[in-house]
């Protein structure tokens, strides 16, 4: 299977927006699993998954809510279970460090998502083979009709056109027109 150069890499998340409650629900499911299994103690990095997905698909605020709420909820779970197995100052400092790492990840993924969305807005591509007249540069559309090059590009991108004459065309088509060098 060949890949075109403009295709996104397989590891890059698809773009779009989703309801923030999806990610809050996933974080809640992880917390329930944590309550019964002690998952957070084994792999606190798993909480980065809903944070990253929330940042990418629902924005920074959803990701920050999950990034701050997950360590707080985990702390509440451990207190409710009476399972704090280390001295309280060490437990609090480690919880703060883990929470800070998850918050940084939320900020990073949210910024990356904003950047990707901005790139998608700014970059519009023309793909495929365009049938263009060698003389007038009109392009044949999918219905077999000929359209101006400017119209086709304007419809498929955000490019705008201004018209003028290059020096060679000015000399060939308007030989009496004064150029800057010959003008007043």
With H, G, I as helix, E, B as strand and everything else as coil, classify residue 13.
coil
pLDDT for position 98 = 79
Q: For the chain, which ranges sit under pLDDT 70?
A: 1-16, 38-45, 122-128, 179-184
pLDDT for position 183 = 42
Q: How far apart are CA 13 and CA 1, in angstroms?
A: 20
pLDDT for position 177 = 80
pLDDT for position 1 = 47
pLDDT for position 182 = 47
Model pTM score: 0.56
pLDDT for position 42 = 58
pLDDT, one tens digit per residue, over 29-46 is 877 777 777 665 555 667
pLDDT for position 146 = 93
**SS3 per-residue string spanning 67-131:** HHHHHHHHHHHHHHHCCCCCCHHHHHHHHHHHHHHHHHHHHHHHHHHHHHHHHHHHCCCCCCCCE
Instruction: With both helix axes pointing from N to C terminus, report the angle between 20-37 and 48-58 in degrees, rounded to the nearest 10.
Output: 180
């Amino acid at each position: 299977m060949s890949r075109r150069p403009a295709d996104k890499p397989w590891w890059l998340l698809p773009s779009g927006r989703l309801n923030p409650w999806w990610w809050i629900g996933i974080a809640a499911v992880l917390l329930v699993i944590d309550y019964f299994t002690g998952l957070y103690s084994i792999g606190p990095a798993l909480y980065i998954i809903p944070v990253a997905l929330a940042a990418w698909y629902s924005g920074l605020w959803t990701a920050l809510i999950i990034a701050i709420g997950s360590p707080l909820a985990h702390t509440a779970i451990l207190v409710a279970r009476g399972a704090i197995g280390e001295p309280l100052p060490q437990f609090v400092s480690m919880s703060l460090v883990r929470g800070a790492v998850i918050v940084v990840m939320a900020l990073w993924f949210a910024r990356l998502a904003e950047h990707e969305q901005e790139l998608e807005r700014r970059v519009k591509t023309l793909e495929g083979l365009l049938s263009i007249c060698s003389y007038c540069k009109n392009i044949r559309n999918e219905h077999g009709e000929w359209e101006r090059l400017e119209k086709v590009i304007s419809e498929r991108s955000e490019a705008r056109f201004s018209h003028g004459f290059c020096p060679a065309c000015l000399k060939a088509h308007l030989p009496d027109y004064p150029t800057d060098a010959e003008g007043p």
